[in-house]
Amino acid sequence: MKKGYVIALVLALTVIATGVVSCKKAATTPPGPNTGSLIQTDGIITGEIKVIKSMPTGYPWQFDVLIQTSQNVGDLKNPVADKVGQVVQFGTDEQIELFKVGQIITAHVKLTGDVEVGTHLYIYNIK
């Protein structure tokens, strides 16, 4: 009988030790590249609206904007800092009737979404 108790005790301690090591490892392991939320971003752009179209999913509207200038906002990462001179697609839920193709706008832009679900550029406070 003593031998049975010793074996059971050894097995129980092994299971407990394995669980503790796994928990400790999980707590100290940083998330991989495809998990977690995004860092906060923001930028202010001026640009020309090249395309306005409705979207079947996600944001109701897509604006394609030729970026003319791009400014940082404080210490936040500017998601379009390197896009000056390029046409960039943005999602928005702003009132579409206020804008037209060819119009020069100033607006804030940021990266939205989630690394797991997908990311999108969002344009807001359009003037």
Report d(CA 85, CA 69) in Å as an integer.
8
CB 62 within 8 A of CB 90: yes
**Same structural domain, 14 and 47:** no
Is 95 a residue whose pLDDT tops 50? yes
* pLDDT value, residue 40: 92
Residues of the domain holding 54: 43-124
pLDDT tens readout for residues 41-74: 999 999 999 999 999 988 999 999 999 999 999 9
Q: What is the pTM of this model?
A: 0.69
Contact between 90 and 125 (Cβ < 8 Å): no
So what's the pLDDT on residue 77?
A: 96
- 78 in Cβ contact with 71 (< 8 Å): yes
Instruction: Compute how many other C-beta atoms are within 10 angstroms of the C-beta atom of residue 74.
Output: 6
**In terms of domains, do 3 and 58 share one?**
no
What's the alpha-carbon Rg for the chain, to the nearest Å? 25
Computed over every residue of the chain, the mean pLDDT equals 81
What is the domain-level CATH number for residue 76? 2.40.50
